[in-house]
Structure 1
Amino acid sequence: MRPSYHPEGLYDESKANVASSGDGERPMVQLWHRNGRCAPGTVPVRRTKKDDLMRATSMRRYGRKHKPTVANPMSVDLAMLNEGGHQHAISYVQGEKYYGAKATINVWEPKIEQPNEFSLSQLWILGGSFGEDLNSIEAGWQVSPDLYGDNNTRLFTYWTYQATGCYNMLCSGFVQINNEVAMGASIFPLSGYSGSQYDISILIWKDPKEGHWWMQFGKEYVLGYWPSFLFSYLADSASMIEWGGEVVNSQAEGVHTSTQMGSGHFPEEGFGKASYFKNIQVVDSTNNLKAPHGMGTFTEQSNCYDVQNGNNADWGSYFYYGGPGRSANCQ
């Protein structure tokens, strides 16, 4: 129940799951910790209630995303990509075999216009083609009233292969081994505009011995794994990694949603105002973390949500992303 290998060369961070702000550092926690902790030998599982099921469009679709689940930067058919109103602002790499990815993700509470819309910030581990054959592992934070019944910012995971896969632990798949961190639970504190900034660190890597895909939260919490037998292409390696934001625009044609991505502000506003990903790395075939090579960017409507890459000594590879949705320039 532990990985046999851990990636080497982790980007040097003092505390990966705490924030660096002008008023000092506070640990990132989950709100359920206020009510106690899990006993040794057990793991936390968020309770599924009747109201959760009643909000679902169908029992068969409960706990699953509406397609498409990922952005395809190489697609020329943007009408197909935007089916169902999914919009993205991402950075990505492809062209190699990837065995994992890492990022430190700025945490916010974006405003959601309609209950059936969501806003998330995550990393994608991808294999296969963008259709029924797609394999994906995803993790980050999200606000999804339809799934959770509120507008809290929550840690989440998602995986898919053909007709299988789901959020968190709402179906068989992800095997949790940690009793401190609950999938789908609210996280706190959150970043404020022109205020303190908080972030979480997520690492996903493939164990070269057992073949499972493991997830780590911060520097110390190894949460669990997705068994390799869940997938076809990802049973070997990933062919693309994506980092960034995704929202659902459910509004009528010609009217854009005001659902925010990230902080709800555009990348050019910079630190303390725009949301960011930093310390971005990939895991190579030697099980080493390294800076990504040739990162590209993609967004369907840059006047609604945008992304800007950068690199420096303090943050390594990074980008700012997000936006407000509907505005004078985004209709």
Structure 2
Amino acid sequence: MKNGTGSLVVVLMMMLANATGASIGKRKFSDLGEVEIQRRLKQLNSRPAVKSINSSNGDIFDCVYIYNQPAFDHPLLRNHTIQMEPSSYPKSLSKGKEASKEGTAATRLWPKTGKCPKNTVPIKRTTREDLLIADLMNKLKGNIPIINGSKYPTDGHEYAIVNAMHGQFTGASARINLWKPTVQIRREFSLAQMWVKSGNSDPISCLEVGWQVYPQGYGNDNNPKLFVYYTGDSYNSGCYNTYCPGFVYVNQEIRLGETLEPTSTYGGVQTDMFVQIWKDLRNGNWWVSVGESNVGYWPSSVVPALSDHATVVQWGGEITNFMRTKHTTTEMGSGHFPEEGFGRAAFFTNLYVIDTTSVPKDPESLHPYITDHNCYNLIPDRSGPLGTFFYYGGPGRNPRCP
């Protein structure tokens, strides 16, 4: 949102001040009237909880019976039978186990503050602000650029990403370095993630996993949060985590929206997390795993353009810039440019795409997309045990990025 961000700032401020679905001029910025807000809050929070868990930042996660989770509010999933475990895995990776840890000191990335009982899953108790922010962020998310020979309009989002394109992919994986970047204002965010998408299909389907620092979206918490996201209709609908139906949760311990820790330190110990999205070739479900654990899956029916395979995989960083006269100081990655290298710049390592025979492979070629290399940059490489990897990130506003 580097250019023309003023109207978006107004939209955000007014959206939070008045959640009744008003509009400014022709720009409608909330479809959630008060009646709809209350209906959805009741729907999301009326599920009987077997147990409740208090998170480190004060959020409450309710352990609800697995068939009472929000996924089954989706009209296409009313008669869906849960698949508790994948029936097929990528051939060289067993049950989402972590890849090589060479070059990084990876540790367990979520606190052991409680585990839900058997046959239940942890669902974040939803507040009114949660719904408004989730609705707004989905509208602002938009389509992620694919290399097309020209600078793609970013509508306030800035990127340093790489693309694996024009393939037939049934998944992808990577190790994502974990940091706690500074976000200048609470309505901006900074994230690192992987996208698996149907490319230029109409409509686009896309699956995402990664971490995000977004104070406004997580109760003024500035810590990195684990998230998943999906859309089946070119970002007209879809959502983070379980704020809307579609994602089938099967893990009793990993809590979507929970703080990831510990984070990396500049010049010190580096932490990362292994993420993977892949298609179960026996039934078409798209699974996501984090570390050694399978978190859940999206049935292929909710992402129709991915019913066969994906054509694009993307990895990298994204920030939002809502400043009007100067560039934001919101950091991407570690807040340092990739030229600083290991221990100082953020990185992705062990990038793999998964082909239609379920075999993980190094991407044949990577196409960088960088919104403005003076603000945030990226350097791809291939090197030994790190496989295909890249450094990325930056500080935002600096003498080269005023």
Same fold? TM cut 0.5:
yes
1:6 to 81, 86, 89: 89
TM-score by length of 1: 0.89
Corresponding residue of 1:314: 385
- Deviation string 1:171-214 (CA, Å, 9 cap, x unpaired) is 10110111121111111100010111000000100111111110
Take 2:275 and 2:101, find their aligned partners in 1: how far apart are those partners?
12
Query: Are the structure 2 counterparts of residues 14 and 221 from structure 1 closer, same or farther at C-alpha, using a change threshold of 3 Å?
Result: closer
Decide whether the 8 Å contact of 1:19 with 1:26 is kept in 2. Answer: no
Is the Cα contact below 8 Å between 1:46 and 1:185 reproduced in 2? no
Residues 126 and 240 in structure 1, CA contact (< 8 A), matched pair in contact too: yes
Query: 2:230–2:239: 8 Å Cα contact kept in structure 1?
Result: yes
Q: Does 1:38 align with 2:116?
A: yes
Aligned partners of 2:103 and 2:386 also within 8 Å: no
C-alpha distance in 1, partners of 2:364/2:184? Answer: 37
Instruction: Measure the CA separation in 2 of the matches of 1:27 and 1:317.
Output: 21
Tell me which amino acid in the other structure corresponds to 2:224.
T
Structure 1 position 45, deviation (Å):
1.5
The corresponding residue for 1:242 is 314
Deviations along 1:23-63, one digit per CA (max 9) or x if unpaired, are: xx5632323x22x211111111222224434xx36x8x256
Q: CA deviation at 1:282?
A: 0.4
Query: Equivalent residue of 1:251, what SS?
Result: coil
Question: Pick from 184, 191, 213: which aligns with 1:143?
Answer: 213
**Deviates most, 1-10 or 221-230:** 1-10
Structure 2 matches for 1:140-179, cutoff 5 A? 140-149=210-219, 150-162=221-233, 163-179=236-252
2:305 corresponds to which residue? 233
**Cα distance, 1:148–1:235 mapped onto 2, change above 3 Å:** same
Structure 1 gaps of 5+ residues are: none
Contact persistence 1:264–1:323 (CA under 8 A): yes
Aligned AA for 2:265?
A: G
Whole-angstrom distance in 1 between the partners of 2:389 and 2:106: 22
| Aligned counterpart, 1:71 | 145
Q: Secondary structure at the match of 1:44?
A: strand
Contact 1:100–1:206, Cα closer than 8 Å, also in 2: yes
Partner in structure 1 of residue 194 of structure 2? 123
Match of 1:29 among 105, 109, 119: 109
Conservation of the 8 A alpha-carbon contact between 2:309 and 2:356:
no
Q: 2:184 pairs with 110, 113, 123, which one?
A: 113
Q: In the alignment, is the contact (CA less than 8 A) between 2:191 and 2:213 conserved in 1?
A: yes
- Distance 1:290-1:18 versus aligned 2 partners, 3 A rule: closer
Cα displacement (A) at 1:73: 2.1
* SS at structure 2 position matched to 1:104: strand
Count of residues paired in the alignment? 315
CA-atom RMSD in angstroms: 2.2
Give the TM-score of the pair, scaled to structure 2.
Answer: 0.74
Query: Counterparts in 2 of 1:242-281, with a 5 A limit?
Result: 242-252=314-324, 254-281=325-352
Q: Equivalents in 2 of 1:257, 1:277: separation in Å?
A: 24
Secondary structure of the residue that 2:266 maps to in structure 1? coil
Give the distance between the partners of 1:30 and 1:205, measured in 2 at CA: 22
C-alpha separation between the residues in 2 aligned to 1:189 and 1:20? 17
* Structure 2 Cα separation of the partners of residues 65 and 264 of structure 1: 27
Q: Map of 1:284-323 to 2, 5 A cutoff? A: 284-323=355-394
- Structure with the bigger RCO (C-alpha within 8 Å, sep 6+) is 1
Name the residue aligned to 2:11: none
Relative distance call for 1:65 and 1:191 in structure 2 (3 A) is farther
Correspondence 1:197 to 2:298: no
Structure with bigger strand share is: 1
> SS at 2:130's partner residue?
helix
* CA spacing shift, 1:19–1:152, aligned 2, 3 Å: farther
From the CA coordinates, give the structure whose radius of gyration is larger. Answer: 2
| Distance in 2 separating the partners of 1:159 and 1:299 | 23
**Residue type of the partner of 1:70?**
I
8 Å Cα contact 1:278-1:318 kept in structure 2: yes
Partner of 2:54: none
1:183 aligns with 2:256: yes
SS of match in other structure, 1:129: coil
- DSSP-derived class of the 1:201 partner: strand
Match of 1:66, SS? helix
What is the Cα deviation at residue 70 of structure 1? 1.5
> Could you tell me how far apart the structure 2 residues matched to 1:123 and 1:167 are?
14
Quote how far apart the aligned CAs of 1:126 are: 1.0
Can you give the 5+ residue segments of structure 2 that lack an aligned partner in the other structure?
A: 1-82
How far apart, CA to CA, are the structure 2 residues paired with 1:290 and 1:323?
29
Which digits, 9 at most, give the CA deviation of each residue in 1:107-149, with x for residues without a partner? 000100111111010000111428x722110100001112112
Deviations 1:194-253 (A, max 9, x none): 1110000001001111111101111x301110010012211111111000000001111x
CA distance in structure 2 between the aligned counterparts of 1:284 and 1:123, rounded to whole angstroms: 16
